[in-house]
């Protein structure tokens, strides 16, 4: 063993003599080994290996000691710095997340910024739930509401209101439910706009951090404030949200780190201000002139000139007194303007002690290992060779999948136990393999094959059709109709029981060669391997559908579910299992579109329709930004005088490559994807803007109204009323010139919410029409309670009125019903003079259709209005 401080390098020349002597002895031992037994060779090899290992490790341990110290120190301080970095990041992420949450609540209308009682109690709950110290909102006019921890035992709600507090700050003590009890403090003419971070937040128009400041309880505790401005949709500032957090927890965390007796960890601002330190007297307070921290700070400045020069983690060491200090400086920056430095330092003595102890322990363990190895090898090597060979042979056979391997257990020592353990292991491996295979290819709930098993079977079926073209198969893809309702109403446990019964019923009509599998959820698949025609597959589908039509009984419930089925034949030309699954799923989609409870057989046109629809969906998402939509207007005329009284706005899509796309193609896609909300808002604003321009350009037509359809998604939208208010304000259109048309079904979906919105719109002066009347499922008791002013007869009854007595009677009844309810009636789809004369005789007030005018663009409507001068 080398002495401490002695050179730790061994020259090549010094190794030549010992190496030559060792090689000579090794040659002699090899010659002897030809005449000795395997037992002696084992003993000799074990002893030589251990002695060689001990010599090399012992020689290199001292040589690598100092290098290990450097590596260990740098690694440890880097890991400690990373822990501090992650701790700061986690600790400071909550304020800005809370601000973002509150901003969304204000922008969506969940929080009323004018109701300080609501906001105060809301903030009171938030600061306790999220673990922050103070939550507040301040308006540009000086009004302010906040809640937080004033002291360890005092929770307050602060308020500044020009109306209620006269511009003074009132601090209210609260009970355990957040209710205000009494005023505990009044600060005259307190202005939150002068507080930390407000001006920077407003000017920056984004979420930022304030400067570090002392907490208001005069304890010297440092704190920081997260600020976020809140704007309305027009960009006007509504106020500033702030969340305060004390920094005392950072010092508390630093003090818990294992830094040794002389180690330090602290956080600096770029201007040198100490934010937190592991040696602070109180958590969150600055350290009282710690000389080691001061010296470290000066050392950093001496090396880099200024803290701003440090833009990445840096490691170095320096002398402090008689010992060497390892140090890392790491910048901490975030997206909200925070820019700190994390400093971790540890003395070399903390690591050398460990290295020396580990070196001594290494030599001790090696010596002990040599002695034990020699003793054991002398006694046990003769018992090892034959059992080892038997085990090797058995393991090799086991690796080839021969699971029935057994070793003879004819000994009671360790080798006998090894043989017994090997036998148990072989048995467990066999059982585990069988269980694993079953788990990988079997659905745990229903016991059916799973997706993986079906994919394997489908792959084999595809391969078989390649070698035997006359052999055909069919794939059925099933989805239960109404299963989600069962889960939502009766619970998932009932749903699981239902799936087990469904799996059994699906298998009942199948022959032995068919494979039924569960894909997941309420989706199943059936692979029919022995079918020749599509009729064979549809007969199986009919049998499955009939078996599932029968009611399911669970406890006291009688449950009905149906199934939609997509069928694909092997003759469609697919080459991969994924192709057949895709095509079967496409056929299933068409079955559901056809009304559920039926089956559809895949053909290539279905795939083409799906691809076309996908492309149309993609193009539709860009149509608004690319200004591809146009508005056409169809006149609405007085039935007696044929004078123009209104216009219905109709949206058209001029596709850049496909030309004009009719609404019947893109409106259903927009309804399904939710894009109808954006399209509807655009149509409403453009129609109101256009009519306002025409009213200004043609004053004699000031009585004109514009009718705009509201979709079901728009009607149930939370901020619909606010959007309409804003559109009317921006365009300057009087509310009574706007007529909103609503079909029957959206109103009946949620009569309470829809009715409240319709009444609010009617109170604004907006006219309301019920569109396509007679095609939905309206309740007359609800209809007479809703504030509709106009009833529009669906074009189907108008166009058939002249040659079908039933349609004539329906149109006549709708007109009479509208008049009894105090509504005017508009007939859509009027195309002949005979239809117009019949409707006029029935007392219909207004007509709309091709007889009067086709839908026209804005230029043609403007020409029409000029002709009326």
Query: 317, 347, 377: which is the final residue of a domain?
Result: 347
pTM assigned to the model:
0.44
Please answer whether residues 272 and 124 qualify as being in contact, where contact means their C-beta atoms are separated by less than 8 angstroms. no
What average pLDDT does the segment 841-859 reach?
93
Flag the least confident range among 43-52, 74-83, 168-177, 784-793.
43-52
What average pLDDT does the segment 819-825 reach?
91
Please indicate, yes or no, whether residues 598 and 638 belong to a single structural domain of this protein: no
At residue 782, the pLDDT reads 63
Closest alpha carbon to 705 in 638, 790, 648, 760: 648
Boundaries of domain holding 116 = 111-347
Please answer whether residues 760 and 721 qualify as being in contact, where contact means their C-beta atoms are separated by less than 8 angstroms. yes
Please answer whether residues 773 and 792 qualify as being in contact, where contact means their C-beta atoms are separated by less than 8 angstroms. yes
What average pLDDT does the segment 395-403 reach?
69
797: CATH: 3.20.20.450
Chain centroid to Cα 299, Å, comes to: 47
Closest alpha carbon to 793 in 736, 838, 747, 735: 838
At residue 861, the pLDDT reads 93
At residue 746, the pLDDT reads 64
Taking the alpha carbons of 487, 488, 492, 493 in that order, is the dihedral positive or negative?
Answer: negative
Residues 6+ apart with CB under 8 A from 844: 639, 793, 815, 825, 826, 827
Please state whether beta strands 629-638 and 846-847 pair in parallel, antiparallel, or not at all (unpaired). antiparallel
pLDDT band with cut points at 50, 70 and 90 for residue 778:
low
Please indicate, yes or no, whether residues 474 and 592 belong to a single structural domain of this protein: yes
Q: Tell me the C-alpha distance between 140 and 249, whole Å.
A: 32
- Examine the pLDDT at 634 and tell me if it is beyond 90: yes
Q: Is residue 371 part of a domain?
A: no
Flag the least confident range among 411-415, 578-582, 614-618, 778-782.
778-782
497: CATH: 3.30.70.270
For the chain, the domain total comes to: 3
Helix (H, G, I), strand (E, B) or coil at 623: helix
First to last CA, the chain: 115
- Examine the pLDDT at 343 and tell me if it is beyond 90: yes
Q: Is residue 393 part of a domain?
A: no
Please indicate, yes or no, whether residues 561 and 704 belong to a single structural domain of this protein: no
The pLDDT tens digits of the residues spanning 11-20 come to 333 344 544 5
The pLDDT tens digits of the residues spanning 239-273 come to 999 999 988 888 888 888 877 767 889 999 888 88
pLDDT band with cut points at 50, 70 and 90 for residue 613:
confident
Please indicate, yes or no, whether residues 569 and 647 belong to a single structural domain of this protein: no
Query: 330, 347, 364: which is the final residue of a domain?
Result: 347
The pLDDT tens digits of the residues spanning 4-52 come to 333 333 333 334 454 455 445 545 544 544 445 555 666 667 667 777 7
At residue 786, the pLDDT reads 83
Q: Is residue 549 part of a domain?
A: yes
Distances (CA, A) of 583 to 425, 528, 578: 46, 16, 9
Please indicate, yes or no, whether residues 590 and 726 belong to a single structural domain of this protein: no
Q: Computed over its alpha carbons, how large is the radius of gyration of the chain?
A: 42
Question: Residue length, the chain?
Answer: 869
Q: Is residue 797 part of a domain?
A: yes
Q: Is residue 303 part of a domain?
A: yes
At residue 297, the pLDDT reads 87
Residue ranges with strand state E in 663-798? 705-710, 738-743, 767-773, 790-793
Please answer whether residues 804 and 797 qualify as being in contact, where contact means their C-beta atoms are separated by less than 8 angstroms. no
Flag the least confident range among 85-89, 310-314, 397-401, 557-561.
397-401
Q: Report which of residues 268 and 803 the model is more confident about.
A: 268
Q: Is residue 355 part of a domain?
A: no
DSSP string, 470-534: T---EEEEEEEESHHHHHHHH-HHHHHHHHHHHHHHHHTT--TT-EEEEEETTEEEEEESS--SH
- Examine the pLDDT at 708 and tell me if it is beyond 90: yes
At residue 382, the pLDDT reads 61
Please indicate, yes or no, whether residues 530 and 648 belong to a single structural domain of this protein: no
Q: Is 103 left (phi over 0), alpha (psi -120 to 50) or beta?
A: alpha
The pLDDT tens digits of the residues spanning 835-844 come to 999 999 989 9
Q: Tell me the C-alpha distance between 758 and 278, whole Å.
A: 63
Q: Tell me the C-alpha distance between 672 and 712, whole Å.
A: 11
pLDDT band with cut points at 50, 70 and 90 for residue 526:
very high
At residue 178, the pLDDT reads 84
- Examine the pLDDT at 205 and tell me if it is beyond 80: yes
What average pLDDT does the segment 636-644 reach?
94
At residue 13, the pLDDT reads 39
Please indicate, yes or no, whether residues 597 and 641 belong to a single structural domain of this protein: no
Average pLDDT, the chain: 81
In the chain, what percentage of residues exceed pLDDT 90?
Answer: 24
Please indicate, yes or no, whether residues 731 and 807 belong to a single structural domain of this protein: yes
- Examine the pLDDT at 344 and tell me if it is beyond 70: yes
- Examine the pLDDT at 70 and tell me if it is beyond 50: yes
Please indicate, yes or no, whether residues 704 and 560 belong to a single structural domain of this protein: no
Buried b (16+ CB within 10 A) or exposed e, 167-203: bebbbbebeeebebeeeeeeeeebebeebbbbeebee
- Examine the pLDDT at 561 and tell me if it is beyond 70: yes
Closest alpha carbon to 669 in 626, 625, 717, 612: 612
Q: Report which of residues 825 and 49 the model is more confident about.
A: 825
Please indicate, yes or no, whether residues 589 and 640 belong to a single structural domain of this protein: no
Q: Tell me the C-alpha distance between 854 and 635, whole Å.
A: 8
Please answer whether residues 134 and 126 qualify as being in contact, where contact means their C-beta atoms are separated by less than 8 angstroms. no
Q: Is residue 809 part of a domain?
A: yes
At residue 481, the pLDDT reads 85
Looking at the DSSP bridge assignments, the partners of residue 346 are 326
At residue 19, the pLDDT reads 46
Looking at the DSSP bridge assignments, the partners of residue 329 are 314, 343
Please indicate, yes or no, whether residues 331 and 276 belong to a single structural domain of this protein: yes
Flag the least confident range among 54-63, 186-195, 532-541, 812-821.
54-63
Query: 323, 347, 371: which is the final residue of a domain?
Result: 347
At residue 843, the pLDDT reads 92
Distances (CA, A) of 99 to 94, 136, 230, 231: 9, 9, 10, 13
At residue 531, the pLDDT reads 85
The token pair at 450 is: 């799973």
- Examine the pLDDT at 58 and tell me if it is beyond 80: no
Maximum average pLDDT range among 87-91, 286-290, 490-494: 87-91
Maximum average pLDDT range among 59-68, 371-380, 453-462, 852-861: 852-861
At residue 405, the pLDDT reads 66
Q: Tell me the C-alpha distance between 123 and 520, whole Å.
A: 43
The token pair at 866 is: 């000029």
Q: Is residue 259 part of a domain?
A: yes
Flag the least confident range among 154-168, 416-430, 629-643.
416-430
Please indicate, yes or no, whether residues 640 and 565 belong to a single structural domain of this protein: no
DSSP string, 80-132: HHHHHHHHHHHHHHHHHHHHHHHHHHHHHTSS-TT-HHHHHHHHHHHHHHHT-
The pLDDT tens digits of the residues spanning 93-142 come to 889 999 999 999 998 888 898 899 899 999 998 888 888 989 999 999 99
At residue 534, the pLDDT reads 86
Q: Tell me the C-alpha distance between 10 and 142, whole Å.
A: 79
Q: Tell me the C-alpha distance between 485 and 488, whole Å.
A: 5
302: CATH: 3.30.450.20
At residue 814, the pLDDT reads 87
């Amino acid at each position: 063993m080398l002495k401490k401080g002695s050179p730790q390098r061994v020259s090549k020349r010094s190794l030549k003599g010992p190496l030559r002597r060792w090689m000579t002895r090794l040659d002699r031992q090899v010659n002897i080994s030809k005449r000795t037994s395997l037992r002696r060779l084992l003993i000799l090899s074990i002893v030589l290996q251990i002695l060689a290992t001990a010599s090399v490790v012992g020689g290199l341990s001292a040589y690598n000691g100092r290098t290990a110290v450097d590596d260990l120190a740098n690694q440890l301080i880097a890991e400690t710095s990373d822990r501090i970095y992650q701790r700061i990041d986690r600790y400071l992420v909550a304020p800005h997340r809370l601000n973002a949450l509150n901003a969304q609540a204000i922008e969506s209308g969940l929080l009323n910024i004018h109701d300080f009682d609501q906001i105060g109690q809301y903030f009171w709950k938030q600061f306790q739930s999220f673990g922050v110290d103070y939550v507040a909102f301040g308006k540009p006019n000086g009004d302010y509401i906040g809640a937080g921890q004033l002291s360890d035992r005092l929770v307050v709600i602060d308020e500044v209101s020009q109306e209620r507090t006269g511009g003074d700050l009132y601090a209210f003590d609260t009970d355990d439910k957040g209710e205000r009890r009494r005023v505990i403090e009044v600060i005259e003419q307190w202005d939150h706009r002068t507080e930390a971070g407000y001006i920077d937040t407003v000017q920056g128009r984004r979420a930022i951090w304030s400067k570090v400041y002392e907490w208001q309880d005069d304890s010297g505790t440092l704190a920081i404030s997260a600020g976020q401005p809140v704007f309305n949709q027009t960009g006007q500032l509504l106020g500033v949200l702030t969340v305060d957090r004390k920094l005392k927890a950072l010092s508390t965390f630093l003090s818990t780190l294992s830094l040794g007796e002389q180690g330090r960890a602290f956080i600096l601002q770029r201007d040198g201000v100490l934010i937190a330190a592991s040696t602070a007297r109180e958590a969150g307070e600055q350290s009282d002139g710690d000389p080691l921290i001061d010296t470290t700070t000066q050392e950093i400045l001496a090396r880099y000139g200024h803290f701003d020069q440090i833009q990445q983690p840096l490691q170095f060491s320096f002398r402090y007194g008689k010992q060497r200090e390892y140090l890392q400086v790491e910048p901490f920056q975030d997206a909200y303007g925070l820019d700190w430095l994390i400093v971790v330092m540890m003395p070399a003595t903390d690591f050398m002690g460990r290295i020396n102890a580990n070196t001594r322990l290494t030599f001790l363990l090696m010596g002990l290992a040599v002695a034990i190895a020699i003793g054991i090898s002398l006694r046990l090597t003769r018992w090892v060779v034959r059992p080892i060979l038997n085990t090797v042979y058995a393991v090799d056979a086991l690796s080839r999948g021969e699971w029935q391997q057994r070793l003879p257990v004819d000994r009671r020592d360790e080798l006998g136990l090894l043989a017994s353990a090997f036998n148990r292991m072989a048995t467990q491996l066999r059982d585990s393999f069988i269980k694993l295979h079953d788990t990988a290819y079997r659905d745990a709930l229903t016991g059916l094959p799973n997706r993986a098993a079906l994919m394997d079977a489908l792959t084999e079926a595809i391969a078989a059709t390649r070698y035997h073209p006359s052999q055909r198969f069919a794939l059925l893809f099933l989805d239960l109709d109404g299963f989600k309702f069962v889960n939502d109403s009766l619970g998932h446990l009932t749903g699981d029981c239902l799936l087990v019964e469904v799996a059994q019923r699906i298998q009942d009509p199948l022959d032995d060669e068919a494979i039924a599998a569960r894909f997941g959820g309420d989706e199943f698949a059936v692979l029919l391997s022995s079918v020749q025609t599509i009729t064979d597959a549809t007969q199986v589908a009919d049998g499955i559908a009939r078996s599932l039509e029968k009611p399911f009984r669970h406890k006291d419930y009688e449950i009905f579910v149906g199934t939609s089925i997509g069928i694909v034949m092997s003759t469609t030309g697919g080459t991969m299992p994924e192709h057949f699954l895709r095509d079967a799923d496409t056929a299933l989609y068409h079955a559901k579109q056809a009304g559920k409870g039926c089956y559809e057989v895949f053909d290539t046109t279905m795939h083409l329709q799906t691809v076309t629809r996908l492309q149309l969906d993609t193009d539709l998402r860009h149509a608004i930004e690319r200004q591809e939509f146009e508005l056409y207007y169809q006149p609405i005329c007085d039935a007696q005088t044929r004078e123009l009284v209104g216009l219905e706005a109709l949206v058209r899509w001029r596709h850049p490559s496909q030309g004009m796309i009719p609404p019947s193609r893109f409106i259903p896609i927009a309804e399904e994807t939710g894009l109808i909300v954006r399209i509807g808002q655009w149509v409403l604003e453009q129609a109101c803007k256009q009519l306002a321009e025409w009213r200004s350009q043609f004053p004699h037509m000031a009585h004109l109204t514009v009718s705009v359809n509201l979709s079901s998604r728009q009607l149930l939208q939370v901020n619909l009323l606010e959007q309409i208010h804003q559109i009317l304000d921006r365009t300057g259109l009087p509310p009574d010139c706007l007529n909103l048309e609503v079909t029957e079904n959206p109103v009946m979906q949620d009569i309470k919410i829809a009715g409240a919105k319709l009444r609010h719109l009617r109170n604004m002066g907006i006219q309301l029409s019920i569109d396509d009347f007679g095609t939905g499922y309206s309740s007359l008791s609800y209809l007479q309670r809703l504030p509709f002013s106009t009833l529009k007869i669906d074009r189907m009854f108008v166009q058939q009125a002249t040659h079908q007595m039933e349609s004539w009677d329906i149109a006549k009844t709708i007109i009479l019903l509208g008049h009894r309810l105090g509504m005017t009636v508009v007939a859509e789809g009027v195309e002949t003079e005979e239809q117009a004369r019949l409707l006029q005789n029935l007392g219909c007030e207004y007509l709309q259709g091709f007889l009067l005018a086709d839908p026209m663009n804005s230029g043609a409507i403007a020409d029409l209005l000029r002709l009326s001068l």
